[in-house]
Amino acid sequence: MKLAVLVSGAGSNLRAIAAAIDAKTCAASIALVASDKDSAAALEFARARGVETAVVRPKDHADRAAWDLALAERVAAATPDLVVLAGFMRIVGAPILARFPYRIVNVHPALLPSFPGTDGPAQAIAKGVRIAGCTVHLVDAGVDTGPILAQAAVPVLPTDDAHALHARIQVYEHRLLPWVIDAIARGAIVLGEKPTFTYDTHFDAAAALVSPTR
Ligand code: GRF
């Protein structure tokens, strides 16, 4: 399964996908890494790996609609089977949604539908929730509103600030995102308006109970 991975930042999720591909636990290949910023560290990683890269910056386009179209065309030129938003910090527009119906996934650092948008971990800290986590979901026209494909939960510790919580969440993003991509490639997750799931779920009841130690 050919991927186009869209990034804006450090690219730790991109690295996790690449590592899983190399370890043969993710049946995919990366055809393109595209960014809205030429400074994204994720691009350096992609170039060093010999992966084709593209930078499509809003400021190089007349308006939002022109940028949306340019991004959609650049991504489509790589003929991906799946578009992965891995720390892509912009809302994708109608042109790319139309070209890849039910074929765009996003990783979000919160347990959706709680805490959509920016700063999921900071929102979780501010609300005082005791369980946080990450979500991989299908992208639709809303902000972090598409059908949920998989989630992982982590505890919020009393000493956490948003940074510490985000770091703990990211450990699980790096497992969940490659796993979901592989599940899609194997047909264990079938994408559509209402995705269907045929994978077995392992539930560790002991680990799921987060409580004070005494
Ligand atoms: C991740 O926490 C992801 O959930 C959010 O942006 C962050 C990107 O991190 N959408 P990285 O660039 O993959 O390191």
Ligand 1 atom with the shortest distance to the CA of 12: 14
Shortest-distance Cα residue to atom 1 of ligand 1: 87
The model's pTM is: 0.95
CA of 166 to the centre of ligand 1 (A): 9
Residue ranges, comma separated, of all CATH 3.40.50.170 domains in the chain are 1-100, 108-137+151-214
Distance, CA 28 to ligand 1 centroid (Å)?
20
70 φ/ψ angles, rounded to the nearest 5 degrees: -65, -40
Specify the ligand 1 atom closest to the Cα of 173: 4
Tokens of 7: 């990034």
- Best of 8, 12, 13 for a ligand 1 pocket test (most atoms within 8 Å of beta carbon): 13
Direct distance between the N- and C-terminal alpha carbons of the chain, in angstroms, rounded to an integer: 48
Q: Which CATH architecture has domain 108-137+151-214?
A: 3-Layer(aba) Sandwich (3.40)
How far is residue 96 from each of residues 6, 67, 101, measured CA to CA in Å?
12, 11, 8
Dist. CA 132–CA 124, nearest whole Å: 7
Q: Determine the atom of ligand 1 nearest the C-alpha atom of 16.
A: 13
Q: What is the number of other CB atoms lying within 10 angstroms of the CB of residue 127?
A: 11
The answer to whether residues 203 and 192 touch, using CB atoms and an 8 Å cutoff, is no
Q: What digits encode the pLDDT tens for the residues 143-170?
A: 999 999 999 999 999 999 999 999 999 9
* CA separation for the pair 1, 16 (Å, rounded): 16
Tokens of 81: 């089977």
Q: How many CA atoms lie within 13 A of 35 on its CB side?
A: 21
Joined together, the tokens standing for residue 134 give: 């990450």
* Secondary element (H or E) of residue 137: strand 131-138
Q: How is domain 1-100 classified at the architecture level of CATH? A: 3-Layer(aba) Sandwich (3.40)
Check pocket membership of 173 for ligand 1, CB cut-off 6 A: yes
- What pLDDT tens digit does each residue of the chain (214 aa) get? 999 999 999 999 999 999 999 999 999 999 999 999 999 999 999 999 999 999 999 999 999 999 999 999 999 999 999 999 999 999 999 999 999 999 999 999 999 999 999 999 999 999 999 999 999 999 999 999 999 999 999 999 999 999 999 999 999 999 999 999 999 999 999 999 999 998 776 666 655 555 555 5
State in Å: Cα 133 to ligand 1 middle.
13
User: Could you tell me if the CB of 132 is within 6 A of ligand 1?
Assistant: no
Which residue matches tokens 């991975």?
A: 5
H or E segment and range at residue 132: strand 131-138
Atom in ligand 1 nearest the alpha carbon of residue 7? 12
Neighbouring CB atoms inside 10 A of 134's CB total 29
Residue 156 CA to ligand 1 center (angstroms) comes to 18
State the pLDDT at residue 199: 73
Q: Which active-site residues does the annotation give?
A: 108
Question: What is the β-pairing status of strands 196-197 and 131-138?
Answer: unpaired
